[in-house]
Amino acid sequence: MKRVFSQQCEELVIKVVQRFEHSTSAIMSSPVSSEQTKTKRPSSSKFRQQQLPAWQPILTAGTVLPTFFVIGVAFIPVGIALLTFSGNVQEVVKEYTQCNSIDPAHNNATCDEVLSSPNHTAATPCTCHINFNVTESLNGRVYMYYGLTNFYQNHRRYVKSRDVNQLMGQTDSALSDCSPFATADKKPIAPCGAIANSLFNDTFELKMLSSAGAELAVPLVRTGIAWPSDKKYKFENPPGPLTADGAFKNTAKPVNWKRAVYELDPAHPENNGYENEDLIVWMRTAALPTFRKLWARVNESAETFKHSLPAGEYRIVVSYAYPVTSFGGTKRIILSTTSLLGGKNPFLGVAYIVVGCICLVLGVAFLIIHVKYGKRGTDTITNRTDWSGH
């Protein structure tokens, strides 16, 4: 049996090589067919004789120096363009970790203090206001993000703590990685794991304040915030209606949650269960401990906000329920437009300009070095020339 196997292997190798050579010989001179004469003479194919035609680039001043200059000349304008794009993006960032509760009962304490006070119940979130002035209207689409800092969504145990299959709608999934958030009351938690359990649950309302003090609610859309591919490939509700008796029968809600997974968005029945976009956005764990996540888009269909968020006084009403100060975290709310290249980020622009400049400097330096000291002569080499260099 083994013999047959090795024979087959040999044949295979020979075949591959022959085919290979066939293809090479079509280009090169015709090799002596080894079948004609039964000698051990090796084939004269260019492949076997290591004579395949080849491009042999070598580093010369003629190729290297222009490369430096080309890179330099190309990178600087690109960098400037990138900087311009980034600069065109308008962004309003408001940190609200320590915002004060508007509830008179709380006696002007910060919501953070309210949340951590012993007699606080989860059922009654603390509410606070963030007032700010937009001096220049935000043109184009406006997106609303929440940001967290010092929040380790990328911690190994955190990242791992989810069940991919459960989120794909399989009810019999083992939930093995979800511990200790796998089961509650002997029922599987839906969705299980630390990520889902720590779902960000502050809510925001954006209001435009008129000079008269009237509030105009800015319409926010909470759908279309998750990646289409995630919705398509990674999250799927179990079969059945999104009720306690339907798709999520015999499941428990995550410990930290106030509402079950099928009640996340009362306003939009289809935006519930595992396919809830807020959940999907949260479940795509951030790469860094400082991150922002898309919370809503300003609805462009509303007349006032069709093309921009006009300049003016705004207020965000925060339903403050998510404690972060215990581990030194902060929370932000961000309003931002986007450019063709996305959000505000001068990094690439600056980097391109710097690299471009460095290349130009290198180019000039090497040009001088080459002209002054470069060794070009190859005429002097003989078979006794020693191996120098490094």
Minimum Å distance from CB 137 to another protein?
A: 18
- Please state the separation of Cα 54 from the chain's center in Å: 41
Query: What minimum distance in Å lies between the beta carbon of 298 and another protein?
Result: 10
A 10 A CB-CB count for 184 gives 16
- 48 is a site residue for another protein (CB under 8 A): yes
Closest to another protein by CB, 133 vs 154, is 154
Task: Point out which span in 240-248, 262-270, 290-298, 308-316 binds another protein (CB under 8 A).
Answer: 290-298
Binding-site member from 355, 357, 360, 364 for another protein (CB under 8 A): 355
Which 167-226 positions form the footprint of another protein (CB under 8 A)?
179-180, 194, 197-198, 225-226
Alpha-carbon torsion angle 219, 223, 228, 233, nearest 10:
170
Least distance in angstroms from the C-beta of 108 to another protein: 25
Closer of 94 and 141 to another protein (Cβ): 141
Q: 38 vs 33, 216, 306, CA distance in Å?
A: 10, 95, 84
Q: Does 26 bind another protein (CB under 8 A)?
A: no
Distance CA 252, CA 182 (A): 10
* Contacting another protein within 50-109 (CB under 8 A): 50, 52-61, 64, 67-68, 71, 75, 78, 82
**Binding letters toward another protein, positions 143-172, x by CB under 8 A:** x-x-x--xxxxxxxxxx-x--x--------
Dihedral (CA of 290, 220, 110, 214) sign = positive
| Cα–Cα separations (whole angstroms), residue 302 to 157, 176, 219, 239, 312 | 43, 46, 7, 35, 17
CB 390, min distance to another protein, A: 6
Work out whether 361 is an interface residue with another protein (CB under 8 A): no
Task: Indicate which single residue of 104, 213, 239, 389 sits in contact with another protein (rule: CB under 8 A).
Answer: 389
Cis peptide before 254 (omega within 30 of 0): no
Q: Which of 285, 299, 319, 330 binds another protein (CB under 8 A)?
A: 285
Query: Phi then psi for 320, rounded to 5 degrees?
Result: -90, 105
Closer residue to another protein, CB minimum distance, 156 or 186? 156
Q: Please report, as residue ranges, which positions from 297 to 336 form the binding site for another protein (by CB under 8 A).
A: 297, 323, 326-328, 336
Q: Which is nearer to another protein, 129 or 284 (CB)?
A: 284
Whole-angstrom Cα distance, residue 269 to residue 29? Answer: 73
Query: Which CB atom, from 132 or from 291, has the smaller least distance to another protein?
Result: 291
Identify the three-state secondary structure at position 320: strand
CA 373-377-379 angle, 5° bins:
160
